[in-house]
Chain A
Amino acid sequence: MESASKNFHKAVIGATKLKLKSEYRHAKSALRPSFPYGKPTLPGAIEPEKKKNKLGVDYNTDWARKPAMKFARRVVLESLARPVIHLIASPTILGDEIFQSLKGPFIFTANHASHLDTGLLLTCLPENIRGKCVAAAAADYFFDTPMKAFFAASVLNAVPMERLKVNRKSALMAADLIDKGWNLIIFPEGGRTPDGWGQPFKGGAAYLAIRTGAPIIPVHIHGTRQLLGKGARRLVTGTTRVTFGKPITPTEKDDARKLAERVQDAVACLADEAATTFWEAKKRNANKTTPSLEGHLDKGWRKSFASYSLPSPSRPSRPSWPPK
């Protein structure tokens, strides 16, 4: 008996709530033009759809690849972003000769230390490739608000990528873009390094390569952490080094995990090369003594600290002009 009357009360309260909601929505719409000229009001029984559906992984970036946007981005990239980035980061580019003989689309997999990475990598690519590049960007970071999503999509030509869990939609979308001839920049670590050391490569890039057959080009970026690392408040100028490795073409036998390991290995080798020389790095690689990107097993500050023991890149000497 008691529970019945309780249920009854609950039902009455529920109905009253619905009614109030409906009255409120009705009253709120009193001043705007009536449907269909104005927006429809929601029935009391319907919960408003959460807007976030539209953001994150589900953010549709098709508009950012329309010809007009492509053109605008190109103008910005060539006339503004490139000179600025060169000024800030003064990159040295190694291994870019591979683009002379290969046809895209490619999947660029790079280590990730800074927000500058995407821009820097873009400016270091040959013109025909950088004009047709999309960047995989963390859906939860770059696409969580409309403004950020707009910025990421329009300026960086970013596509949302789920980094915390496997998401078929974002993978399919990226694969679709590669199939359509777009190059993809992806940071397989899934985020910027917190401490200077690398993080394990996730399988996404490898999966895409296997699915689309596009070759992976391992890239190592050195030095951006010092300019604008994770948590940095100020941007400082400095020098950087971008090293392109030999393309890794997936075979049918590859599975995503193995391939991801190969890619990680290749990037580690590039890092070694950036720190030393090509030949030394190759030798260490052959002996399987390439220093791991992930470095120490230490944690916390000691790990960060240890990362500084990596040799700093040797700057090529450049005659300054006018001579001092």
Chain B
Amino acid sequence: MSSRPGFVMEVDRSTPPTLFWHGEGWKLEKLPSGSRIIYPKEPMEALRDPDRAIQDALDNPLGESEPLDALLKPGMKLTIAFDDISLPLPPMQKPDIRQRVIEAVLTRAANAGVDDVVLIAALALHRRMTEAELRHALGNRVYDSFAPHGLLKQHDAEDPDGLTYLGTTDKGEEVEISKRACESDLIVYVNINLVAMDGGHKSVATGLASYKSLRHHHNVATMRASKSFMDQHHSELHSANWRMGRYIKQQGIKIFQIETTLNTNTFPSQFRFLQKREWEWDIRDRATFIASSKVMSKTPPRINRSVFHSILSPHAMSSVQAGEVEAVHERTTEHVYAQQLVPVSGQSDILTLGLPYISPYNVNSVLNPILVACLGLGYFFNLYRNKPLVRKGGVLIMSHPTTWEFNPVHHPSYIDFFDQVLSETTDPEVIQSKYEESFAKDPWYIHLYRTGNAYHGVHPFYMWYWCAHALEHLGKVIIVGGDPKAVSRLGFSPATTLMDALEMAKDVVGSNPSLTHFHVPPLAIADVS
């Protein structure tokens, strides 16, 4: 089964309406003739025997690294850090990749007689995972072996006794990471690379860092200087992380990085039409589309949400590599590119996006307006290499209900950010200088982050910084079908229909604009020439 490559199609009279995600739902929209639609590559073939591939990767490390077995010695301190709930999206069907890899690593550690093993969810300033989420990611065997003894930890970026300050990089960036990780003889990092942005030195230098350390790259200036998050060589965010990662290495901290990639088989067969090209929808696809749309328009949003968040994705491991961080990440990036790159020639005046129900920060939760902005402007807008899909000063049109709704357990500081900060200004620089510190140091948010399941107080700021590059680049942002009040609060323009939005866009880009629709998810990276 070979997967067909992604491609760019020009819309004409006989092009059927195009699927737009719309939060917990979707719409079919007829795009004007001459518009372009970018279709992602079909899911690549998965590894036939992932477990075997993992063993191979552990035995044949990349870069300057010994095989894992040679690194494991009796009496050593071993820390296994792993990516948190933000990956992959949607959460994958069992067994999760992390379970496969960690079980393999633990089996070897057991054979080598390693007693002191601690597992850490590398969640940086994300919310702590629930027991169910940890069990899903790690499997019951791992969970039950470590959690009851307190050896399955979640990184705490605010634990005064749990962090070690290592020093500063040559650019003066402070490096402070998990104490346990620093004291370990070996850190094994288990990563899932969903997009080209993940992994590499970002895994430890971000995942296990403190606020003090993170603010050196999670800020407006860095985000604006990152001209493609998907291309580490043009991303200041990555440069900073690489400096930190190398500094960590210089301090003698040993990391054995295991990175995995997934194919883009994102939705289970009952929703297969979501990853098919519209003209190939068969009767079953059309029937599912119609039935699900009708049902969802009748059922309460709360129920739709729980249905969507119960979707487990069938995406499968397409590669696994282990060893020295940079060598591993280089190979990983190749695999991600192989699956996701779609060549696109030239930018357009307008970019349209359908935003789905999920982003890295609302697994099992609500996609609140700030996350809507971040998903559109921070993530999808940045799914490019070389140049953005939309020209400077162009218009971004996104489709999402954008309801004024927050999950108070997961996103308490988001509520206050929305009410107190965005009501005053949407300028990322002003927000950073005027408000960041008071949110970051708010004891209540810290308390909720450390003991509950809340994102850190500063997290909504980071969401807004993610948008900074797009906000600077774009002439206008329009949200179709959103709550006008919430959309206006974000500083965007609300539109009822796509046609209205296109009319509004003409004020900015002229009367005969070029338009590109990015048909994601499943994910793709536009390689814009």
Could you tell me which A residues sit within 8 Å of B by CB distance?
18-19, 21-26, 29, 35-37, 39-46, 49
Contacts and interface: CB of A to CB of B under 8 A. Distances in A.
A186 to B, nearest CB: 25
A35 B14 contact: no
Contact of B12 (A19, A35, A49): A19
10 contacts: A18-B12, A22-B12, A23-B14, A25-B14, A26-B14, A35-B16, A41-B14, A43-B16, A44-B14, A45-B9
Contact of B15 (A24, A39, A43): A43
A26 B13 contact: yes
Interface string B36-72: 0000000000000000000000000000000000000
B281 interface: yes
A44 B278 CA distance: 13
A46 B8 CA distance: 11
B27 to A, nearest CB: 11
B376 to A, nearest CB: 25
A42 to B, nearest CB: 5
Chain A at the B interface: mostly helix, strand, loop or mixed? loop
Contacts, number: 60
B114 interface: no
A45 B12 contact: yes
A41 B16 CA distance: 6
B12 A43 contact: yes
B279 A40 contact: yes
A95 B14 CA distance: 65
Interface of B: 9-17, 28, 278-281, 286, 289-290
Nearest to B282: A39
A22 B28 CA distance: 19
B9 A35 contact: no
A35 B10 CA distance: 18
Contact of B278 (A21, A35, A45, A49): A35
B291 to A, nearest CB: 10
A230 B278 CA distance: 46
Contact of A29 (B11, B14, B290): B14
B9 A43 contact: yes
A40 B16 contact: yes
Contact of B286 (A19, A37, A41): A37
Give me the 4 closest cross-chain CB pairs, A-B, nearest first. Answer: A40-B16, A25-B14, A22-B12, A43-B15
Contacts of B28: 35-36
Given A36-B289, A37-B290, A22 B13 contact: yes
Contacts of A18: 12
A36 B281 contact: yes
Contacts of A21: 14
A164 B28 CA distance: 45
A37 B286 CA distance: 7
B290 A22 contact: no
B234 to A, nearest CB: 32
Contacts of A40: 16, 278-281, 286
Nearest to B19: A36
Given A35-B278, A36-B28, A36-B281, A43 B11 contact: yes
A22 B15 contact: yes
